[in-house]
Amino acid sequence: MSTQSTTTTKKAATVGTIDTKKMDEAVQVGKQTVEQAVAATKEQVEKASTAALKGYDEFATLNKASMDAYVKSSNIVTKGVEDLGKAYFAFAQSTAESNVAAAKKLMGAKTINDVVDIQAEVARTSFDSWVAESTKMSELSMKVANEAFEPIQAQFTAVVEKMTKPVAA
């Protein structure tokens, strides 16, 4: 029995060694697979992070450019309203001066015909002045509106072009 017992013990030791080798190999393969999966995941996360940061940077740049366009537009509108106000007050002052001059003429009129003639002249002059000034104010308003819209339109065009470009892979 002792030979059989020794043989069984050797076989058990050999089987244990073979099983241990297989187990070590399986563990090693599993470890490599996990390491490869972790490396691939890490690479994908880095790519995604880089893309997200690039997208954020582009968004921030577009947002800043948009805000700059709105500020520029607002400055143009502010200046335009100031110019319109100055033109309006200049017209009001001119009208007041011409009304004072007309009142002086009317005070110096000797006959009813003179009053009617002076009144007709004042009405015609006032109407012509009003039409000319209205045209001037309308043109100035359109100029301000067009100039104020230019920066916004340019920025809108830039954003649309940026958004419609295909994303580079």
Asked if 90 and 136 touch (Cβ cutoff 8 Å), the reply is no
131/28: higher pLDDT: 131
The reported pLDDT for the residue numbered 85 is: 93
Reported confidence tier of residue 136, pLDDT bands at 50, 70, 90: very high
Res. 5 pLDDT band, cuts 50 70 90: low
Rounded CA separation 165/44 (Å): 24
Specify the pLDDT at position 36: 82
Average pLDDT, the chain: 83
pLDDT given at position 17: 60
pLDDT (tens digit, 9 = 90+) per residue, 7-50?
Answer: 555 555 555 566 677 777 777 877 888 788 777 777 887 777 77
Largest CA distance in the chain: 161
Given a contact cutoff of 8 angstroms between Cβ atoms, the answer to whether 162 and 62 are in contact is yes
Q: Give me the mean pLDDT over the 140-148 stretch.
A: 93
Q: Which residue has the higher pLDDT, 108 or 31?
A: 108
> Is the per-residue pLDDT at 122 higher than 80?
yes
Helix runs in the chain, H state only: 2-107, 112-164
CA distance 134 to 130: 6
**Within 13 Å, how many C-alpha atoms sit on residue 151's CB side?**
16
The pLDDT score that the predictor gives to residue 59 is: 78
Span 60-73, pLDDT tens digits: 887 888 889 999 99
